Amino acid sequence: MNNFRFYTPTEVLFGRGVESQTGEAAAKHGTRALLVYGKGSVVRSGLLERVRQSLEKSGLAVEEFGGAQPNPTLSHAEEGVQKALAFGADIIIAVGGGSAIDTAKGIAHGAANPDKKLWDIWTKQVPLTKSLPVGAVLTMPAAGSEMSDSAVLTNTGLGKKAGIGTEFNRCRFAVMNPEFCATLPPYQLAAGVTDIMMHTMERYFIPGAKCDLTDEIAEGLLRTVIKNGAVVVKDPSDYDAMAEIFWASSLSHNNLTECGRGKDFSVHKLGHPLSARFGVTHGASLASVWGAWAEELYEDCLPRFSQYARRVWGVDEADDTAAAKEGISRTVGFFKSIGMPTNLKSLNVGTAESDLEQLSLDATQGDTLRLSRIRPLDAKAVEGIYRRAMNFEI
């Protein structure tokens, strides 16, 4: 087991009706709250108003900022920074899913550092030494941003999607009521279920370290998501199943499942260019390349892939290679069963062979970054995975 640091400062309020406690949680960290949300579903449902009332009841002044995009953009976050500065916000609160939360994190970093360009902060060209506190009222399980140290924004001007990892990204509190998801579309839920699994698997398929407890946590989380994910995609009003998915979403991305092993996130780096260039839903971008990525690398990480197959999917196969291949097949089959694309062709965004070289350069930052802790992948190798993913079938 490798050395690690584990830090989870987020106060979690979980269950039915907990949105009424938002003001109490926020008042510990600020007095002037900017509410960040998406396209208006939280307005139509009345949730935004309930959150506002809770904040005002606790003595906070409130301003609203809507319009967060499914793939949150730098330009929108920059608008939010100006809104926060004009209002004098000292706490940023997201009401929504990962896109609203990541936008809120960007606003918090920019508002605390008005003399610096947000993209320069995001790409670590300048150090981030302070930020405003962020809270989240979660309406969808997927990104895990409510407890993670990461956030992602897309610079549409450059066609680049980039993430930043920093302890300043940790939300001070997260309000989670699974009832909020009762009317979510199946595709959106399926993409969220996929993202939760990917956050866990990106920390699982790493060779070398012996981490029995971390493995057990990750494997149990994956089994729980597979079981309950299939349920919520069919019936999002199933509270118990949705509660399991909500909690799994947070634990999959708060670094718990990487303790002693670390993380990789090479599949995310393959998916980000698809979202940045074609607007592909994040979870769908991951599902579309995972099978091709796994086929490329499983032989170099055979003990992990075979263990995953046996412990997560119950594969009864003594031969490690056969077990690993069956585990890959069942994973891709699960993605397909919940309506996720499992190759680039099924994304239906016009991805052509001519796009693949540029996608690989985007994924590897112009061939300066090597992907994967299993085996270093340069731009040429990444292009090969994209080519395999074009018409990938199990």
Which CATH number does the domain housing residue 384 bear? 1.20.1090.10
- pLDDT in the model for residue 41: 84
CA–CA dist 323, 341 (Å, integer): 24
Q: How many domains does the chain have?
A: 2
Longest pairwise C-alpha distance within the chain:
64
The pLDDT averaged over each successive group of 10 residues in the chain (394 residues) is 92 96 98 94 91 97 94 95 98 94 97 97 95 96 90 91 93 96 91 96 95 98 98 96 96 95 95 92 96 98 98 98 98 97 90 87 95 97 96 90
Q: Take residue 165 and report the two structure tokens written for it.
A: 């990892």
CB 294 within 8 A of CB 38: no
Domain edge (last residue) among 145, 180, 215 = 180
Task: Kindly state the tokens that stand for 257.
Answer: 């499942």
* Dist CA 385 CA 290 (whole Å): 9
Whether residues 249 and 313 share a domain: the answer is yes
What does the DSSP 8-state code read for residue 371?
B
Same domain, 164 and 201: no
List Cα–Cα distances, 132 to 135, 146, 171, 364, in angstroms: 10, 15, 10, 31
pTM of the model: 0.90
- Is 189 in the same domain as 176? no
Q: Which of 152, 180, 208 is the last residue of a domain?
A: 180
Mark out the alpha helices in the chain (DSSP H runs): 22-26, 41-44, 47-57, 74-87, 98-112, 118-122, 186-201, 212-234, 239-252, 266-278, 282-297, 302-313, 320-337, 353-363, 379-390
**Domain check: are 82 and 223 in the same one?**
no
Give the integer Cα–Cα distance in Å for 163 and 107: 14
Query: pLDDT value at position 161?
Result: 87
Host domain of residue 309: 185-390
- Supply the pLDDT for residue 159: 86
The pLDDT of residue 39 is 83
Which CATH number do you get for residue 119? Answer: 3.40.50.1970
Domain termination site, one of 180, 197, 216: 180
Question: What are residue 94's DSSP bridge partners?
Answer: 36, 136
Kindly report the average pLDDT of the chain as a whole number. Answer: 95
Residue 86 covered by a domain? yes
